[in-house]
Amino acid sequence: MEPHTRSQEFSLYGTDGARKYLNRDERQRVLAAVAQLPADRALFALTLAWSGARVSEVLALSASSFQIDAGVVAIRTLKRRGHHIREVPVPPELIKALDSRFHLTARQRDPRRADSRLWPWHRVTAWRIIKRLMTLCRISGRRASPRGLRHAFGVVTLGLVPRNIRQKWMGHARPESTDVYSAVCGPEEQAFAARFWRANDNAAPALPSRR
């Protein structure tokens, strides 16, 4: 028997059938709810959501990680051997908010502060912040976690971002890891289904009438 690859072992569903990722509606609810958090926590959650990074990767960010004018964050991929950095574009509004809150521009000019972490929290603390945010949004289960938010990033790029770019943004060493997200019923597949329904609407079975 051939050994299982990582992509075969990894699934967006648990063995009990529970979904591990936030769907589009849940992700939108989380993005809306961050406004209720203190600024530091809100910006941490938004950086997670818009970069697709892991908790430990966002916690490692400093002022020097950001190209402010270009709107790019350089993320050290911690799950790959050696020193590997991936650049991910993030919304300009987020960059502006981060600069305003953490004084990124000023820190970059100060060698003593440029490489200091923006969020000096322990990983467990960061995890609990996101967990409370999920509770606030009435999201539960395995998807109610930072990893669920990361998987949501991979899912919402379907049909919008080429696979090779999605792989880079997610920090995957192999394209097979990125292909896992293609198993989700994305917008392209839903569009095909809608066309199928319209083409066969005359042949659709009649719904039973109420009695």
Q: List the CATH number of the domain containing 181.
A: 1.10.443.10
Q: Please indicate whether residue 75 or residue 2 has the higher confidence score (pLDDT).
A: 75
Structural domain includes residue 204 = no
Structural domain includes residue 206 = no
Q: 8-12, 155-159, 193-197: which range is least confident on average?
A: 8-12
Mean pLDDT computed over 28-53: 97
Mean pLDDT computed over 111-124: 96
Structural domain includes residue 209 = no
Calpha distance 30→25 (Å, rounded) = 9
pLDDT tops 60 at residue 7: no
pLDDT value for 207: 63
Structural domain includes residue 21 = yes
Rounded to the nearest integer, the mean pLDDT of the chain is 89
Structural domain includes residue 142 = yes
Structural domain includes residue 207 = no
Structural domain includes residue 195 = yes
pLDDT value for 78: 79
Range of the domain at 124: 10-199
Residue 196 pLDDT level (bands cut at 50, 70, 90): confident
pLDDT value for 158: 86
- State the burial class of residue 4 (Cβ atoms within 10 Å of its Cβ: 0-12, 13-18, 19+): exposed
55-108 tens-digit pLDDT = 999 999 999 999 999 999 999 987 766 679 999 999 999 999 999 999 999 999
pLDDT value for 49: 97
pLDDT value for 209: 65
Closest by Cα among 150, 132, 125, 99 to 33: 132
Residue 8 pLDDT level (bands cut at 50, 70, 90): very low
pLDDT tops 70 at residue 202: no
Structural domain includes residue 2 = no
Question: What is the full DSSP assignment across 63-126?
Answer: GGGEETTTTEEEEE-TTSSS--EEEEE--HHHHHHHHHHH-HHHHHT-TTTTTSBS----HHHH
Structural domains counted in the chain: 1
Tokens matching residue 131: 């967990």
